[in-house]
Structures are given as structure tokens and as C-alpha cells.
């Protein structure tokens, strides 16, 4: 435990010096401010409180931004140490590779948590100021916060695995961007195309829901939308959300960080200093 916290402490300090903490927090804050400003028009037709609507918008934002931030912080974790030549020395210390990764993981997750908290905090404050009934949306906001952490955790861990596989920061960055495009943008487009082509056949009914759950970003979106009817209505994909039990989506976003960490540790073990 001491060793994990020691390496988390060093990693957090490095991120602070490299301005990663500032970049992450500023990015989340800026997007939340823009989102709050854009969504400040009256929404009486939906019959939902202001904060719930904000949470729905934040969910769509988080699906893109949280994995991106997570991958940006994590792609350098192993490859960077290989390139700087800092790996051989630390690996002769009585600390396991899993502990080193967990240390980095704790630090990166803390930074992500900070950024997400600031961003969501700003958006929530804006919503509550405009709409006095907005406090009804607070449970949804809290749910969004911790699921965002799980989503980020999954992509941080996957980023470590890519970093260990690539062994060079340049290659790792390329893999990370490619993965983000594939899992966040292209995956949904591909599924959508398949569903359209299938037009309500076997794929749409039996395969499609599972493929949605298999992707942590989609599972995250589904869980947050399914858990809140109002936001589901606001987001307009209640149809997809209703066919999949929320528990399945939740299981997916809890499992992914664990699977990612196992994959990352296995890949890191293959790196010879």
C-alpha cells in the first residue's frame, strides 16, 4: 500500500508540474460553461427540472471528453518511462509492476476526478441558479459523477495497456487516438448502420444490445439515461435504453476498469527494460 501511494504521489506531482492537472480541469470547466450557456434557454415542454436536463447534456459531453482525457494522461505511462530510461532502476526496487501501475492509476484517477468535479460543479451551479427546482436533479448528477470516474478508470487502464504494448510514446499516442476514434465515434456509427441495414431483425433484437453494453462508453450512456427517465426523454434514445437492464450496463462499466488493469499488467510484464 505504501508503495502504491508513494508512486501515486510522485505521479501526481509530475502531472502537476507538466500542467496536466491544469489542462484537465480547464478543459472540463470550459466545456461545462459552454454547455450551460447553450442550454440556458427555457425547457418547459419537457417538464424536467433544469439540472436533470443539464445532466443529460453532460452525459453526452462526458462520453467524448472523459475517455479522451483519460487516454491523454495514460498513453505515456509505460512508453514514456521506457523512452526516458527510468524503468530499469525502478524495477530493481522491491515493488511489483502491478503496484507501479496502480500508483499511476490512483494519481491519474484523482486528476480526472478533480477535473470532472469542477466541470460538473460549474454546470450544476449554473442550473441551480436559474431554476429553483433544480435540486431534484442532484441524485442524477451524483450518479453521473461516479459513473464518469468508472468510465475514466476504464480508459486510463486501457491507455496503460496500449502504452505497454507500444513501448514508444509516439506509437502509444497514435494507438490511443485510434482507440478513441474507434470506440467512441466509429463504434456507434457502425452499430447504427448495422441496425438500419438489419431493420428490426435478429441482429437488432439479440446482438445489438450486447454490443452496446460491451463498449464502456455506450454502457455509461445507457446506464445514466436508463436510470433517469427525464434525461432519457431529453436525449431521445430511450428506445435503446429501455431494452437493456440498467444492471447490465452498470456491470459493464464496473468490469471494464478491472479488465483494463489486468490487461495493462499483463502487457507491462512483457516489457523488458
Partner 1 sequence: MTNLTLSQVTKTFDQTRALDGVGFTVASGERVALLGHNGAGKSTLMKIILGLIPFDSGTVTVMGDAPGSHAARRQVAYLPENVAFHPALTGLEQIRYYLRLRGENPGAAMGLLERVGLSDAAKRRIGTYSKGMRQRVGLAQALIGNPRLLVLDEPTSGLDPVSRREFYAMLDELATEGAAILLSSHALTEVEARTDRIVILSKGVMVANDTLAALRRQAALPTHLQVIARPGAADAVAAQLHGARMNGVMVNLTCAHDEKLARLGQVTALGAMIEDVEVIPPSLEDIYSHFSLQADGRAIR
Task: List interacting residues with partner 1 (CB under 8 A).
Answer: 2-3, 5-7, 9-10, 13-14, 17-18, 84-86, 88-96, 272-273
For partner 1, the closer of residues 3 and 167 by Cβ is: 3
For partner 1, the closer of residues 87 and 116 by Cβ is: 87
| Least Å from the CB of residue 78 to partner 1 | 14
Residue 198 contacts by C-beta under 8 Å, 6 or more apart in sequence? Answer: 204, 208
| Least Å from the CB of residue 21 to partner 1 | 12
For partner 1, the closer of residues 17 and 206 by Cβ is: 17
In this structure, what C-alpha cell is assigned to residue 106?
490512483
- Chain-centroid distance, C-alpha 80: 22
| Least Å from the CB of residue 19 to partner 1 | 10
Q: Is the dihedral of CA 166, 254, 250, 31 positive or negative?
A: negative
CA gap 124, 55 in Å, rounded: 8
| Least Å from the CB of residue 97 to partner 1 | 11
For partner 1, the closer of residues 93 and 146 by Cβ is: 93
For partner 1, the closer of residues 93 and 210 by Cβ is: 93
Torsion-angle region of 131 (φ positive above 0: left; ψ -120 to 50: alpha; else: beta): beta
CA gap 112, 187 in Å, rounded: 24
| Least Å from the CB of residue 13 to partner 1 | 6
**Integer CA distances (angstroms), 231 to 51, 130, 223, 255, in order:** 10, 18, 11, 25
Amino acid at each position: 500500500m505504501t508503495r502504491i501511494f508513494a508512486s501515486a504521489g510522485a505521479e501526481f506531482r509530475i502531472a502537476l508540474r507538466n500542467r496536466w492537472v491544469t489542462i484537465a480541469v480547464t478543459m472540463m470547466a470550459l466545456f461545462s460553461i459552454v454547455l450551460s450557456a447553450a442550454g440556458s434557454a427555457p425547457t418547459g415542454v419537457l417538464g424536467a427540472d433544469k439540472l436533470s436536463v443539464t445532466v443529460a447534456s453532460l452525459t453526452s459531453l462526458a462520453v467524448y471528453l472523459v475517455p479522451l482525457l483519460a487516454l491523454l494522461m495514460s498513453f505515456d505511462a509505460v512508453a514514456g518511462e521506457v523512452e526516458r530510461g527510468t524503468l530499469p532502476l525502478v524495477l530493481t526496487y522491491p515493488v511489483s509492476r502491478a503496484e507501479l501501475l496502480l500508483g499511476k492509476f490512483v494519481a491519474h484517477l484523482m486528476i480526472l476526478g478533480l477535473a470532472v468535479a469542477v466541470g460538473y460543479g460549474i454546470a450544476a451551479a449554473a442550473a441551480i441558479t436559474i431554476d429553483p427546482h433544480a435540486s431534484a436533479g442532484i441524485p442524477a448528477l451524483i450518479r453521473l459523477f461516479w459513473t464518469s470516474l468508472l468510465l475514466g478508470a476504464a480508459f486510463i487502464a486501457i491507455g496503460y495497456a496500449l502504452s505497454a504494448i507500444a513501448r514508444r510514446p509516439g506509437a502509444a499516442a497514435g494507438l490511443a487516438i485510434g482507440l478513441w476514434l474507434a470506440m467512441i465515434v466509429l463504434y456507434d456509427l457502425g452499430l447504427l448502420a448495422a441496425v438500419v441495414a438489419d431493420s428490426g431483425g435478429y441482429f437488432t433484437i439479440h446482438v445489438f444490445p450486447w454490443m452496446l453494453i460491451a463498449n464502456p462508453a455506450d454502457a455509461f450512456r445507457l446506464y445514466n439515461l436508463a436510470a433517469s427517465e427525464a434525461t432519457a426523454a431529453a436525449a431521445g434514445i430511450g428506445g435503446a435504453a429501455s431494452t437493456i437492464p440498467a444492471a447490465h450496463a452498470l456491470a459493464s462499466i464496473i468490469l471494464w476498469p478491472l479488465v483494463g488493469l489486468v490487461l495493462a499488467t499483463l502487457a507491462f510484464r512483457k516489457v523488458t527494460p
